[in-house]
Structure 1
Amino acid sequence: MKKFEGVLLACDMDGTLLDSDRRISPRNEQALRHFTEQGGLFSLATGRAPKAILAYLPQLPFNAPYSLLNGSLVMDEQHKVLRCAGMPADTKELISVALSTFSQIGCEIFVDDRILIRQMGEVTAEHLRILKLDYELVAQDELGDTAGWCKINLTGDPAVMRQLRELLQPYADRFCISSSMPSFCEITALGVHKGTALRSIAARCGVAEQNIYAVGDSYNDEMMLRTAHIGFAPQNAETDIVKVADVVVCDNNRGAVADAVEWLDKQYT
Structure 2
Amino acid sequence: MKYKLIAIDMDGTLLNSENQIPKKNKELIKKATDRGIKVVLSTGRIFPSALHYARFLEIETPIISCNGAYVAEHDSSNIIYENPISIESSKEIISLAEKRGIYYHFYDDTTFYAREVSKTVENYYKLNEVMNEREKINIKIINNPIEILEKEKPLIYKFVFVKDNEKELLDFRKEVSNIKGVEVASSWWNNIEIMNKGVSKGKALEELCKMLNIDTKETVAIGDNENDIPMLKTAGLSIAMGNGEEIVKKIANKITETNDESGVGNAIEKYII
TM-score, structure 2 normalization = 0.87
| Alignment deviations for residues 223-261 of structure 1 (CA, whole Å, 9 cap, x no partner) | 111111111111100111111111101111111111221
| Contact 1:8/1:43, CA 8 A, preserved across alignment | yes
Secondary structure of residue in 2 paired with 1:143? helix
Matched residues in 2 for 1:87 and 1:136: separation? 19
* Alignment partner, residue 96 of structure 1: 95
Compared CA separation, residues 43 and 54, structure 1 to 2 (3 A): closer
Deviation at 1:209, TM superposition (A): 2.5
* Alignment partner, residue 109 of structure 2: 112
| Contact 1:16/1:256, CA 8 A, preserved across alignment | yes
Q: Which segment drifts farther, 194-203 or 50-59?
A: 50-59
* Alignment partner, residue 84 of structure 2: 86
RMSD: 2.0
Matched residues in 2 for 1:50 and 1:77: separation? 9
| Alignment deviations for residues 162-191 of structure 1 (CA, whole Å, 9 cap, x no partner) | 2211222312x5211011112221100000
Opposite residue 141 of structure 1, the aligned amino acid is E
Secondary structure of residue in 2 paired with 1:149? coil
* Alignment partner, residue 153 of structure 1: 160
Deviation at 1:201, TM superposition (A): 0.8
1:171-182 aligned at under 5 Å gives the runs 171=179, 174-182=181-189
Matched residues in 2 for 1:37 and 1:158: separation? 46
1:1-269 aligned at under 5 Å gives the runs 7-82=4-79, 83-88=81-86, 89-100=88-99, 102-103=100-101, 105-117=102-114, 119-120=115-116, 125-132=118-125, 134-138=138-142, 139=144, 140-144=146-150, 148-159=155-166, 160-171=168-179, 174-265=181-272
Secondary structure of residue in 2 paired with 1:93? helix
Query: Which runs of 5 or more structure 2 residues have no equivalent in the other structure?
Result: 126-136
Q: Which segment drifts farther, 191-200 or 48-57?
A: 48-57
| Contact 2:44/2:68, CA 8 A, preserved across alignment | yes
Q: Which segment drifts farther, 251-260 or 162-171?
A: 162-171
Query: Which runs of 5 or more structure 1 residues have no equivalent in the other structure?
Result: none
Deviation at 1:66, TM superposition (A): 1.7
Deviation at 1:78, TM superposition (A): 3.0
Secondary structure of residue in 2 paired with 1:195? helix
TM-score, structure 1 normalization = 0.88
Would you say how many aligned residue pairs link Structure 1 and Structure 2? 256
| Contact 1:84/1:112, CA 8 A, preserved across alignment | no
Opposite residue 34 of structure 1, the aligned amino acid is K
Secondary structure of residue in 2 paired with 1:77? coil
| Alignment deviations for residues 47-87 of structure 1 (CA, whole Å, 9 cap, x no partner) | 11123235423322424312111011111133435133111
Matched residues in 1 for 2:244 and 2:236: separation? 19
